[in-house]
């Protein structure tokens, strides 16, 4: 027993010394790291928060010279290059990451996704599509399909877009609106080729996917009117309010034409007047004013816009009332009214635009697919309003 205690006493200083030496090494390592990588990282982050991306990238590149083995740093640089628009450098960085042998499977898949996105933003869709298909049987399959769906929409490959969207269906997103829009796009292409029957079948598939598709109803009505079937056209258009009454404004001019072809123009005008009395934001006041002016005269048109302004005051309504005044005003008053009209026009210009609720892109033409953010059905069919108001 005494002998064992003696050996412990002999070995104890050795253990203590080794522990002290290891601690010194670890402390020196931590101090070295804290004086190089973390501080530089924080400086770069501060630049990013200040919107100084170029300065941040310069720091990360400098760090990379001494820490080239850090995959997280390479990933960060790849993303920053892409955000700055340096797509060739982003592609090279992500290719460099993929050449590493120490990647985990999740890191490899993420790097493949990143490289595919680089190719998409560079317009190299074929290269991106190949990478994304390679990920179809991995844990990143859903993310890959989301990117594939974006490619097919940009390339107008609507059949592929439909098939991909169907694979993406889940409890949180049925993709019924998007798929219905894809069928409508196919129908538009069929109509350009004068294939009306094919277009009708595609629009019926859109309605099967989304039974309240306003666009499908609008197009079916237009086809029916072109084929001299005004009753069928009117029936289609009067079903549009099932989704949103305001979509009727997109069909209003065609609706009037259909009633006119039946020698029932007055009935069509009266129908629109009833709708706008019930739904004041329905964007058909200009059309009704135009039709009343042509068929019933200035007094009827003036009375209509005056009543609408009283019941639903608005700047566009005031402008329309002023237009009616100008038609009957004495010559000595017209110059003053024209000045007022110009001021109203300049200050109500925004009311004649359609606005995307996602990105704010504004346009005088209604779009089902926003040119700014590439989202579907983000425009309200009411000029001067965002999608959220309807």
Radius of gyration for the alpha carbons in the chain, expressed in angstroms and rounded: 33
Q: Give the mean model confidence (pLDDT) for residues 179-185.
A: 97
For the chain, give every domain's residue range: 18-168, 284-349, 353-390
Q: Which of 69-83, 308-322, 376-390 has the lowest mean pLDDT?
A: 376-390
What is the pLDDT averaged over residues 239-254?
Answer: 88
Residue-wise pLDDT for 323-333, tens only, equals: 766 666 666 66
Residues 113 and 144: beta-carbon distance below 8 Å: yes
CA proximity to 83, closest of 110, 56, 61: 56
The pLDDT confidence band at residue 251, using thresholds 50, 70 and 90, is: very high
Cα(203)–Cα(197) distance, integer angstroms: 10
Residue 355: per-residue pLDDT: 87
Q: Which residues contact 181 (CB under 8 A, 6 or more apart)?
A: 206, 213, 215, 368, 369, 376, 377
Q: 279: phi > 0 → left, psi -120 to 50 → alpha, else beta; which?
A: beta
DSSP helix/strand/coil, 196: helix
Residue 68 has a CB neighbour count (10 Å cut-off) of 11
- Taking residues 3-16, what's their average pLDDT? 48
- Measuring CA to CA, how many Å separate 175 from each of 133, 146, 332? 21, 12, 60
Residue ranges of the binding site: 356, 359, 370, 373
**Given pLDDT bands bounded at 50, 70 and 90, which one contains residue 360?**
confident
Mean pLDDT of 119-139: 94
**What would the mean pLDDT of 285-302 be, rounded to a whole number?**
89
363 compared with 78, residue with greater pLDDT:
363
Work out the average pLDDT over 72-76: 74
Cβ atoms 60, 77 nearer than 8 A: yes
Distance of CA 102 to the CA centre of its chain: 38
Q: Please, which residues have CB within 8 angstroms of residue 370's CB and are 6 or more apart in sequence?
A: 356, 358, 359, 361, 376, 378, 379
Residue 334: phi, psi to the nearest 5?
Answer: -65, -35
The pLDDT of residue 75 is 79
Rounded Cα distance between 230 and 257, Å, is 9
Q: Where are the alpha helices (DSSP H) in the chain?
A: 2-35, 37-49, 53-66, 71-83, 87-98, 105-121, 125-134, 141-154, 158-168, 176-192, 196-209, 214-226, 230-237, 248-261, 265-278, 285-295, 298-311, 315-328, 331-347
Tokens of 225: 């009117």
DSSP state letter for 351:
G
Share of the chain above pLDDT 90, in %: 45
**Is the confidence at residue 2, as pLDDT, over 50?**
no
CA distances from 65 to 38, 62, 321 (A): 15, 5, 70
pLDDT-based confidence at residue 171 (cuts at 50, 70, 90): confident
Secondary structure of residue 170 in the 3-state scheme: strand
Q: Which residue positions form the known binding site for Fe cation?
A: 356, 359, 370, 373
Considering the chain, what percentage of its residues have pLDDT values greater than 70?
71
- Residue 252 backbone dihedrals phi, psi, to 5 degrees: -60, -45
Single out the residue of 193, 191, 177 nearest to residue 225, CA to CA.
191
H or E segment at 355?
strand 354-355
Give the separation between CA 334 and CA 316, rounded to whole angstroms: 19
Residues 98 and 91: beta-carbon distance below 8 Å: no
Backbone φ and ψ for 379, nearest 5 degrees, come out as -95, 130
CATH superfamily, domain 18-168, is Tetratricopeptide repeat domain (1.25.40.10)
Structure tokens at 310: 């009283």
């Amino acid at each position: 027993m005494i002998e064992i205690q003696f050996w412990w006493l002999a070995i104890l200083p050795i253990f203590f010394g080794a522990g002290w030496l290891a601690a010194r090494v670890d402390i020196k390592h931590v101090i070295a790291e804290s004086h190089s990588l973390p501080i530089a990282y924080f400086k770069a982050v501060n630049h990013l928060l200040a919107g100084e991306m170029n300065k941040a990238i310069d720091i990360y590149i400098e760090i990379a010279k001494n820490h080239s083995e850090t995959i997280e740093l390479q990933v960060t640089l790849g993303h920053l290059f892409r955000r700055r628009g340096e797509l060739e450098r982003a592609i090279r960085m992500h290719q460099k990451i993929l050449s590493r042998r120490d990647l985990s499977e999740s890191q490899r898949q993420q790097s493949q996704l990143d490289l595919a996105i680089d190719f998409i933003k560079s317009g190299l869709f074929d290269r991106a599509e190949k990478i994304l298909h390679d990920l179809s049987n991995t844990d990143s399959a859903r993310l890959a399909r989301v990117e594939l769906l974006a490619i097919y929409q940009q390339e107008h490959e609507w059949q592929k877009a439909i098939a991909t969207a169907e694979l993406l269906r889940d409890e949180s997103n049925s993709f019924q609106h998007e798929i219905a829009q894809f069928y409508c796009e196919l129908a538009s292409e069929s109509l350009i080729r004068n294939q009306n029957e094919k277009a009708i079948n595609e629009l019926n598939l859109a309605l099967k996917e989304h039974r309240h598709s306003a666009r499908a109803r609008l197009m079916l009505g237009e086809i029916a009117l072109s084929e001299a079937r005004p009753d069928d056209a009117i029936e289609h258009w009067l079903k549009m309010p099932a989704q949103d009454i305001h979509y009727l404004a997109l069909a209003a001019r065609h609706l009037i034409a259909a009633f006119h072809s039946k020698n029932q123009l007055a009935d069509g005008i009266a129908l629109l007047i009833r709708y706008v009395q019930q739904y004041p934001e329905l964007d058909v006041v200009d059309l009704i004013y135009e039709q009343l002016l042509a068929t019933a005269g200035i007094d009827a048109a003036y009375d209509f816009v005056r009543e609408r302004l009283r019941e639903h005051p608005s700047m566009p309504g005031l402008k329309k009332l002023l237009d009616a005044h100008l038609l009957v005003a004495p010559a000595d008053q017209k110059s003053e009214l024209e000045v007022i009209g110009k001021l109203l026009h300049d200050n109500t210009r925004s009311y004649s635009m359609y606005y995307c609720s996602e990105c704010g892109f504004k346009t005088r033409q209604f779009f089902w697919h926003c040119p700014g953010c590439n989202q579907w059905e983000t425009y309200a069919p009411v000029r001067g309003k965002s999608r959220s108001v309807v």
